[in-house]
């Protein structure tokens, strides 16, 4: 909830705080600052994941929340975009919350129920994603946009305290003569990547997330160009409040879609296999992105956004379920961290690619090429996943992996 209070409007904050008016420079600066944390987290995430498997998932989850609280608290004090960028990098290096949280929930769950179990956590996280943008809109009107960082810091600190008091974990104490952590980490990482289905899946997941996230940090700029939604104008006191609420709406739609659609995607993963479902999701997202490139009004944008949100709601659940069915519990946090790293690489590099494609053109028209390229990447990823599933169907799993259930075969 705290992160989603300020991340959707990071581009507007950069514009207002540092006085950047040039469209190309604003898109580039906002994309770099937005993507710095997930890029740093993608590099360091597998290390945190392996450490979580060794020392416990609960301490890693607490550490990540404390790191988010401290770094976010300092962000409004940044005197320049470069300092804000460095703070986002530090946040990414020290954070990494999703992988240990996912592993805490998944431990002890049978392979055939991994999709549904992970989906429940996604729905819980969606509650914060829904409330965050709305809180951000109202806090911005009342106290200014910089106050969003203090809200995020306070909420992250509370989350760390709540985990410390109430989260429980069944820990496996490492053997006294266990190999060094670095050696174990390197061997476990390469062992997972040598599994063809895992290695290629991670690559295709990265491609999907690149296409999916190219325009995300710039959507607030697009909504600003399209204008406030008439429905929200009728229930808002000022034009500025209506616009802030309209900016929050596309991100709140993602959370609503997670409430409604993520459990369904989880059940489909358990029934038909997560890789098959992920492939169809990627193809559908590509078609929706093509439609997004054609929108000219805020109403059209919100309509297509609803479709995109329903598809995006299943991508993380399906990716984690596909990986979880192929590893043992001892390596599950590392596997989840690798999946999370691919997601974060997409979050970091996708917006940069989108800023380059948008070029110097100003206004809503500049987003058309961004959505077109994003659609192409999603389609390529989806079709390749179908090929991967056909190529690996019936192939035995790694001896170190948990055999998938009948509905989630190696090809699934």
**C-alpha to C-alpha distance for 348 and 214, rounded to whole angstroms:** 9
- The answer to whether residues 99 and 45 touch, using CB atoms and an 8 Å cutoff, is yes
Kindly report the CATH number assigned to the domain that includes residue 54.
1.20.1250.20
- The answer to whether residues 89 and 37 touch, using CB atoms and an 8 Å cutoff, is yes
Q: Which pLDDT score, from 0 to 100, does residue 98 have?
A: 72
Domain count, the chain: 1
Domain holding 98, by residue range, is: 3-167+186-392
**C-alpha to C-alpha distance for 256 and 189, rounded to whole angstroms:** 35
Question: What pLDDT digit, counting tens, does each position of 217-262 carry?
Answer: 888 888 988 999 999 999 998 999 999 999 999 988 988 888 888 8
The mean of the pLDDT values for the chain is: 82
**DSSP assignment, residue 369?**
H
Torsion angle of alpha carbons 252, 374, 32, 151, nearest 10°? Answer: 10
Q: Which pLDDT score, from 0 to 100, does residue 331 have?
A: 64
Does residue 99 belong to any structural domain of this protein?
yes
**C-alpha to C-alpha distance for 217 and 13, rounded to whole angstroms:** 12
Residue 209 host element (H or E): helix 196-213
Does residue 405 belong to any structural domain of this protein?
no
**C-alpha to C-alpha distance for 222 and 160, rounded to whole angstroms:** 35
Does residue 400 belong to any structural domain of this protein?
no
Does residue 178 belong to any structural domain of this protein?
no
How open is the CA angle 257-259-262, to the nearest 5 degrees?
A: 75
Does residue 401 belong to any structural domain of this protein?
no
Q: Which pLDDT score, from 0 to 100, does residue 397 have?
A: 45
- The answer to whether residues 226 and 367 touch, using CB atoms and an 8 Å cutoff, is no
Which residues does the chain have with pLDDT short of 50? Answer: 177, 396-412
**Is residue 132 classed as helix, strand or coil in its secondary structure?**
helix
**C-alpha to C-alpha distance for 141 and 233, rounded to whole angstroms:** 15
Does residue 215 belong to any structural domain of this protein?
yes
**Chain centroid to CA 324:** 18
Q: Which pLDDT score, from 0 to 100, does residue 171 have?
A: 63
Does residue 173 belong to any structural domain of this protein?
no
**C-alpha to C-alpha distance for 311 and 211, rounded to whole angstroms:** 13
Does residue 330 belong to any structural domain of this protein?
yes
- Other C-beta atoms closer than 10 Å to the C-beta of 396 total 8
**C-alpha to C-alpha distance for 201 and 210, rounded to whole angstroms:** 14
């Amino acid at each position: 909830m705290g992160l989603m209070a300020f991340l959707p409007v990071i581009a507007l904050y950069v514009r207002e705080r540092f006085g950047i008016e040039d469209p190309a420079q604003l898109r580039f600066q906002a994309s770099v600052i937005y993507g710095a944390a997930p890029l740093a987290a993608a590099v360091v995430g597998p290390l945190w994941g392996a450490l979580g498997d060794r020392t416990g998932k609960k301490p890693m989850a607490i550490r990540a929340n404390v790191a988010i609280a401290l770094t976010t608290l300092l962000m409004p004090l940044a005197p320049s975009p470069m300092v804000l960028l460095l703070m986002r990098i530090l946040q990414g290096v020290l954070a990494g919350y999703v992988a240990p949280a996912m592993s805490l929930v998944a431990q002890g769950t049978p392979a055939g129920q991994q999709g549904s179990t992970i989906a429940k956590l996604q729905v819980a996280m969606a509650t914060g994603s829904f409330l965050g943008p709305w809180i951000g809109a109202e806090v911005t009107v009342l106290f200014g946009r910089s106050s969003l960082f203090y809200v995020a810091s306070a909420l992250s600190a509370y989350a760390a305290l709540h985990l410390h008091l109430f989260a429980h974990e069944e820990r496996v104490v490492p053997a006294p003569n266990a190999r060094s952590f670095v050696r174990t980490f390197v061997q476990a990482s390469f062992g997972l990547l040598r599994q063809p289905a895992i290695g290629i899946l991670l690559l295709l997941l990265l491609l999907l997330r690149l296409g999916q996230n190219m325009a995300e940090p710039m959507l607030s700029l697009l909504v600003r160009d399209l204008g406030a939604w008439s429905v929200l104008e009728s229930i808002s006191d000022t034009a500025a409040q209506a616009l802030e609420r309209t900016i929050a709406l596309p991100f709140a739609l993602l959370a609503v879609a997670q409430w409604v659609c993520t459990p369904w995607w989880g059940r489909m993963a358990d029934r038909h296999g997560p890789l098959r479902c992920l492939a169809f999701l990627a193809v559908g997202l590509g078609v929706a992105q093509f439609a997004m490139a054609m929108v000219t009004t805020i109403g059209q944008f919100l309509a297509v956004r609803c479709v995109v949100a329903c598809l995006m709601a299943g991508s993380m659940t399906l990716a984690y379920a596909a990986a979880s069915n192929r590893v043992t519990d001892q390596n599950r946090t590392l596997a989840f961290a690798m999946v999370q790293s691919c997601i974060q690489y997409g979050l970091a590099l996708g917006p940069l690619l989108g800023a380059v494609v948008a070029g110097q053109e100003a206004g809503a028209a500049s987003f058309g090429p961004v959505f077109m390229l994003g659609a192409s990447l999603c389609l390529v990823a989806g079709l390749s996943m179908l090929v991967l599933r056909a190529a690996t169907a019936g192939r035995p799993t790694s001896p170190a992996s948990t055999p998938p259930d009948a509905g989630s075969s190696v090809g699934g």
